[in-house]
């Protein structure tokens, strides 16, 4: 036992003395076609201070999915974020697929260490021809560390778990070409998995939401081996279902309407994967995984996660 403690101490000491450290804040939010004001952006981001990298994914960004098929510009949203971050951060890159968007801001002092920035998108809507559903990704290196961040919007509706499984696999297959060269991946977005079992008392969600995790479609699909995780992990969920609320409230629409396609769920998720075959990463800690119940302008709640990466 003493030898194990000494070995663990030596490993921790080596990590602390030889590693670089990178702090990442990742966030995904279905904005329900709305455009946040500067004050709403401030409320969204003020609780998340002091990170080296901010990866902000959004779905239904600025306008509806239908309108975004014809006009997908996200410059108003990006400008609002630039104004919030000021001169301490630079916009590293952004990628758009119709209403799906991803933007990455990096601390200005670190921009000199960034190389090989690449963007990609994958369509999964209408026989993989339309971008109403799909994913966007940004891959970059900071020093020797290769990072890929993906934001997605998978198939909607209560009974389409099989299609969501297929969508996820297609996004991963098309985004991780040459995965052996990527150290760390974040896969986030509106995955759209709902709760199974229409007979449960939805009013109880307000009082004891975590009781219903056993009905989470994503976990059920994973347990039944119908969803291939591809080695991705998820932190422990300790927050309420993030969908589907009446705008400007914390009240679920299903409780009033009993529309099966509005049944609540943890639709908005953040998964991550560490490439164990790479030696650049010494240690990854997921410091937090939570939602922002106080953000009420949309029918979804933003979900965020903090990561600390020690790397060589």
* Per-residue model confidence as pLDDT tens digits over 249-305: 998 888 788 888 888 899 999 999 998 887 788 889 999 999 999 999 999 999 999
Whether 148 maps to a domain, the answer reads yes
* Mean pLDDT, residues 87-108 taken together: 98
Establish if 117 belongs to a structural domain: yes
The Cα–Cα gap between 153 and 101 comes to 10
Report the distance separating Cα 164 and Cα 303, nearest Å.
Answer: 19
302-311 pLDDT, tens digit each: 999 999 999 8
The two tokens of residue 268 are: 């908005």
Give the pLDDT mean for 125-145.
Answer: 95
φ, ψ of residue 261 to 5 degrees: the values are: -85, 0
What gap in Å lies between CA 76 and CA 96, rounded to an integer?
Answer: 13
Closest C-alpha to 93, from 78, 80, 83:
78
Q: How far is it, in rounded angstroms, from Cα 40 to Cα 167?
A: 32
Tokens of residue 245, six digits: 């609320």
CATH number at residue 153: 3.60.10.10
Q: What is the total count of domains within the chain? A: 1
The string of pLDDT tens digits covering residues 200-210 is 676 676 677 78
The domain containing residue 103 runs over which residues?
23-311
Containing H/E element for 180?
Answer: none
9 found inside a domain:
no
Q: Report if residue 2 sits inside a domain.
A: no
Q: Which of 300, 161, 270 is nearest to 218 (CA)?
A: 161
pTM (2 d.p.): 0.92
**pLDDT at residue 28 above 80?**
yes
Is 287 within the bounds of a domain?
Answer: yes
Average pLDDT over residues 41-46: 98
Q: What is the mean pLDDT of residues 165-187?
A: 89
Paired with 49 in beta bridges are: none
- Residue 16 located in a structural domain: no
The first and second tokens of residue 232, run together, are: 């991705």
pLDDT in tens, 224-250: 999 999 999 999 999 999 999 999 999
Q: Where are the alpha helices (DSSP H) in 74-160?
A: 75-85
User: For residues 245 and 302, is the Cβ–Cβ distance under 8 A?
Assistant: no
Residue 197: per-residue pLDDT = 73
Answer whether residue 3 is part of any domain. Answer: no
The rounded distance, in Å, linking the Cα atoms of 78 and 52 is 18
For the chain, the average pLDDT equals 91
Tell me how crowded residue 143 is: count the other CB atoms within 10 A of its CB. 14
Task: Report H helices in the chain.
Answer: 2-18, 38-45, 65-68, 75-85, 161-175, 204-207, 217-223, 253-257
Task: State the average pLDDT over residues 106-123.
Answer: 96
The pLDDT score that the predictor gives to residue 57 is 98
- Give the residue from 298, 291, 301 showing the smallest Cα distance to 237: 291
Query: ∠ at Cα 289 (287, 290), nearest 5°?
Result: 135
Whether residue 164 lies inside any domain: the answer is yes
Provide the token pair at 215: 């009905």
Contact by Cβ (8 Å): 246, 299: yes
């Amino acid at each position: 036992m003493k030898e194990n403690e000494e070995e663990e101490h030596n490993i921790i000491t080596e990590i602390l003395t030889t590693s670089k450290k990178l702090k990442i804040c990742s966030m995904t939010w279905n904005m329900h076609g709305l455009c946040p004001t500067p004050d709403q952006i401030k409320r969204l981001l003020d609780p998340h201070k002091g990170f080296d990298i901010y990866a902000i994914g959004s779905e239904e960004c600025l306008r509806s999915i239908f309108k975004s098929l014809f006009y997908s510009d996200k410059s108003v949203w990006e400008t609002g974020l630039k104004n919030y971050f000021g001169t301490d951060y630079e916009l590293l890159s952004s990628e758009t697929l119709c209403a799906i968007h991803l933007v990455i801001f990096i601390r200005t002092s670190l921009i000199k260490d960034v190389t090989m920035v690449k963007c990609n998108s994958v369509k999964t809507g209408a026989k993989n021809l339309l971008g109403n559903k799909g994913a966007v990704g940004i891959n970059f290196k900071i020093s020797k560390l290769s990072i890929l961040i993906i934001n997605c919007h998978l198939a909607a509706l209560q009974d389409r778990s099989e299609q969501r499984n297929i969508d996820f696999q297609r996004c991963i297959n098309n985004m991780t070409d040459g995965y052996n060269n990527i150290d760390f991946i974040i896969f986030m977005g509106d995955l759209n998995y709902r709760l199974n079992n229409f007979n449960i008392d939805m009013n109880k969600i307000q009082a004891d939401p975590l009781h219903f995790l056993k009905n989470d479609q994503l976990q059920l699909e994973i347990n039944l081996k119908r969803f291939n995780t591809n080695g991705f992990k998820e932190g422990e969920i300790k927050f309420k279902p993030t969908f589907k609320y009446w705008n400007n409230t914390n009240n679920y629409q299903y409780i009033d309407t009993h529309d099966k396609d509005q049944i609540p769920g943890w639709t908005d998720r953040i998964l991550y994967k560490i490439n164990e075959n790479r030696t650049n990463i010494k240690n990854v800690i997921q410091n937090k995984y939570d939602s922002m119940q106080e953000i009420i302008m949309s029918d979804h709640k933003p979900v965020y996660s903090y990561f600390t990466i020690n790397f060589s």
